[in-house]
Homo-oligomer: A and B are copies of this chain.
């Protein structure tokens, strides 16, 4: 059953991939085994993050990028990360509507992730969905996010090239740098650059780069700032060119840097996964216990402060296995044998 699903994904079957991504989004536990099996077939796709506030025109930009990449014969997967809407109970279809002209093209596969993950699992869901598109054989995977919140910063950080999209006239420059996402940008796009104040925005961004030059130009790449009007396809070819340049610049990195980055990515991925399972399992274990109900009543009635209730609950319900007790002397050997 699992191997059949895996084979279908590897063959690029859209229905199977769509169902798997929906199950990942819904947090269906059975997806883990499939993800374990497809993981070895991943790592070939190039992941581009597109990040910007609502209204900057990300979807239109992505639509044009798909068009450009398809013209050079590349296949494209798109993940639009949508905050859960209170009205639809799922992803707003707006983004997909905008990209509809690609819906009959077999070389393009577009999905939205709707759930913000009650247990902080957005980052993990996104990584898993990227794995699915990667295993399907897509050359490029574009991940579109709003870019606010730690989880979205983590997603942007894990892309191979991160593009930050801004528009002229959205707040003053103090507001512009408020997003924690700024430092992870490899390429900046000023979209809707026919608007007034485009030059001012360019000037503000440049001024920020000067302040932060050391941070932003690390490892020999100076983030370019491009002007674009996605709606009329202006600046898209330049954007795709810069993405290729950035991709090539990554190839000239030293072996040491490459290993270092690989480890950082693996570390982030592993920690995210542990976090997510801690949330799902440990939290569930604690909150479903009879003790939780008792302590909750005390906090509600004001007879116990929540800080003490939390301390007591954790020590009653969870234990950390000490290194002395549990360190398996043969773990290293076991793992070496598995290689």
Contact = CB atoms under 8 A, between A and B. Distances in A.
Contacts of A107: none
Contact of A290 (B174, B317, B327): B327
A301 B117 CA distance: 29
A321 interface: yes
Given A320-B282, A321-B318, A55 B150 contact: no
Interface stretch (A235-243, A249-257, A306-314): A306-314
A278 B283 contact: yes
Contacts of A174: 92, 94
16 contacts: A35-B307, A54-B179, A84-B180, A85-B177, A85-B178, A87-B212, A94-B178, A117-B150, A149-B151, A263-B296, A270-B310, A275-B279, A278-B278, A282-B282, A316-B321, A316-B328
Given A150-B116, A275-B279, A277-B314, A170 B54 contact: yes
A148 B150 contact: no
Contact of A306 (B39, B53, B292, B311): B39
A84 B148 CA distance: 11
A290 to B, nearest CB: 7
A150 B320 CA distance: 28
B53 A179 contact: no
Interface string A289-315: 111101110111111111111110110
A304 to B, nearest CB: 7
A29 to B, nearest CB: 12
A178 B83 contact: yes
Given A266-B300, A313-B274, A331 B149 contact: no
A262 interface: yes
A18 to B, nearest CB: 21
B286 A55 contact: no
A148 B54 CA distance: 10
A273 B310 contact: yes
A309 B120 contact: no
Contacts of A263: 296, 300
